[in-house]
């Protein structure tokens, strides 16, 4: 059975998806074209868990996700601003930072627990969706997600892309995330295809 690299992620409402895509198009920098967000093959998202799964277990994972989503309503979330971090190549990566509510932290932890029987961290390039050679930082991020980006280290955000945002924007921005999705990961930990999804519960 083939194995694939995945992300369990919240998908924002259409208004925020469009905002992320529009902001992605305005990025400044030589690497701005490495992540090109869109509404079909490179989805703006909020990562909750990453790893590698057997492709034959997608339906079972979808059921587990639906159980968690039903039990963990998160209500509205808030974009608090743009944060720029440096990647492994010392290049700027711009993100929409999201306020970490107790409900969002609980959802993240419950998803991590629910995914534990299904995921491994032994990722290889063949598990990444797309024809390009995945960056080593992509494989490292997936491999180390549980140790370096989960639980107490969970930092909710929507990746805008490589480069910097020069134009001023007004924050905070409140929004909802109507879908919890299992996505096939592409290079730079982009969400390339939705494999399963379930509605989120509303508070």
Q: Which residues, at least 6 apart from 30, have a Cβ–Cβ distance to it below 8 Å?
A: none
- In this structure, the number of other CB atoms found within 10 A of the CB of residue 134 comes to 22
Peptide bond into 172 cis (omega under 30): yes
The secondary structure element, H or E, covering residue 3 is strand 3-11
Q: Region 55-83: what's the mean pLDDT?
A: 98
For residue 203, pLDDT beyond 70: no
Q: Band the pLDDT of 1: cuts 50, 70, 90.
A: low
Rounded distance between C-alpha atoms, residue 139 and residue 128, angstroms: 9
Q: Are 197 and 11 in contact (CB under 8 A)?
A: yes
pLDDT at residue 29, as a whole number: 82
Q: What is the pLDDT of residues 104-160, one digit of tens each?
A: 999 999 999 999 999 999 999 999 999 889 999 999 999 999 999 999 999 999 999
pLDDT (mean) for 74-93: 92
């Amino acid at each position: 059975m083939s194995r694939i690299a995945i992300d369990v992620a919240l998908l924002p409402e259409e208004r925020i998806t469009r905002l992320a895509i529009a902001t992605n198009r305005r990025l400044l920098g030589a690497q701005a074209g490495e992540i090109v967000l869109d509404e079909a093959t490179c989805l703006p998202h909020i990562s909750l868990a990453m790893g590698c799964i057997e492709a034959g277990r997608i339906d079972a994972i979808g059921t587990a996700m639906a159980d968690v989503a039903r039990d963990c309503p998160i209500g509205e979330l808030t974009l608090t601003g743009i944060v720029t971090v440096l990647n492994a190549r010392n290049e700027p990566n711009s993100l929409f930072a999201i306020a970490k509510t107790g409900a969002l932290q609980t959802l993240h932890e419950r998803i991590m627990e629910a995914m534990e029987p299904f995921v491994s961290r032994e990722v290889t390039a063949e598990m990444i969706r797309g024809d390009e050679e995945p960056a080593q930082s992509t494989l490292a991020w997936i491999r180390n997600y549980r140790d370096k980006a989960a639980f107490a280290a969970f930092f909710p955000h929507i990746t805008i892309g490589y480069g910097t945002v020069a134009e001023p924007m007004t924050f905070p921005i409140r929004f909802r995330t109507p879908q919890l999705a299992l996505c096939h990961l592409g290079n730079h930990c982009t969400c390339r295809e939705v494999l399963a999804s379930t509605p989120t519960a509303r508070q």
